[in-house]
Amino acid sequence: MRCSFLSTLLLALLSLSKSSFSQVCEDQTQDSKTIVVDQSGQGQFTTVQQAIDSVPAENSIWTHILVKPGIYKEKVMIPGNKPCIVLVGNSASDTVIEWGDGGIVNQSATFTLYAENFKARNILFKNTYNEMTQRGDGSSIKPASAFQITTDKVSFYQCGFISVQDTLTDFQGRHYFDSCYIEGAVDFIWGNGQSIYKGCKINATTDILGGSPGYITAQGRDSATDNGGYIFDQCSVVGNGPIYLGRAYRQYSRVVFNKADLSNVVVPEGWDPWKYAGQEGTITYAENQCTGPGVDMSKRVEWEKTLSDEELRQLTDANIFINQDGWLQKQPF
């Protein structure tokens, strides 16, 4: 299913986001536009998609979409020709965008982003599709993304992402997650993004799998020169059932947990090579200065990497790994 997803998604990228990579947003000190979304009718629009639709094509002005508290039951998409959007809620506890679609991973996301230079703050993105599945052996669970990112220069602050399988499709581009909450059971952070997760809470809800372990990451780096990778810096891992830190979605999969707090839900082996058993030498999975009852390394897979201080710096320093051109500082508050 995922092989066909990759080819389908790449075609979608060509058609929906080819113009976005040439877009430059005006400096954040310049005049910007603000749109208010309010279900009660006190804003310009009552749905998030209506507000996005109002943004002109080839937008180059930072546009703030302020979403008032409420549960917005809608499926949202930002096309590639609408960059420079800042989506702001009140808090992830009272400002929610949710939908319930699943089964076809590249079509199920509650929120799909094709436009670069996007920022979100204080919003919860949720896919409710698997909430109605019968809890037991997990056989009825289907891919159901809460958010799908297929583009560059994207950041999230104090946001939440909730689903069961494929919660966060971190597919392509440079991304920064600060103090976010991510919940799921199977491959719930997956793709080939080049991403730093800073101070995030990772909640493994694997009780839905009936005792079988789940997987936090399925990272898809596919060559030694590929810049992709997921870096978890000072994050915490909690949950209600066993979880692997990751399994290799592609042969050069790269995931690092740095100074993370790992609860006892982390399985002793830590990592799974998946379909690359016997080819683990190209996989980069590492833990550095982690704490908590889940850090016992005595039964970890023997092919887990030990990175040098310089290798860690190259990956954990945002300015080196994802922010070489200073795009994070150019995004407005």
The answer to whether residue 272 is catalytic is: no
pLDDT of residue 30: 60
CA atoms within 13 A on the CB side of 259: 9
| Phi, psi for 11 (deg, rounded to 5) | -65, -40
pLDDT of residue 25: 86
Full-model pTM? 0.93
The mean pLDDT value for 203-211 works out to: 94
Q: Where are the alpha helices (DSSP H) in 153-245?
A: none
For the chain, domains (ranges, CATH) are 2-130+139-323 (2.160.20.10)
Selected catalytic residue, list 152, 170, 187, 233: 187
Angle at alpha carbon of residue 93, lines to 92 and 95, rounded to 5°? 60
Selected catalytic residue, list 27, 38, 152, 166: 166
Q: Does pLDDT of 9 surpass 60?
A: no
The answer to whether residue 27 is catalytic is: no
Give the confidence band of 11 by pLDDT, cuts at 50, 70, 90. Answer: very low
pLDDT, tens digit (0-9, with 9 covering 90-100), for 241-262: 999 999 999 999 999 999 999 9
CB neighbour list of residue 174: distance below 8 Å, 6 or more residues apart:
152, 153, 154, 193, 194, 195, 322, 323, 327
Q: Does pLDDT of 14 surpass 50?
A: no
Q: Does pLDDT of 101 surpass 80?
A: yes
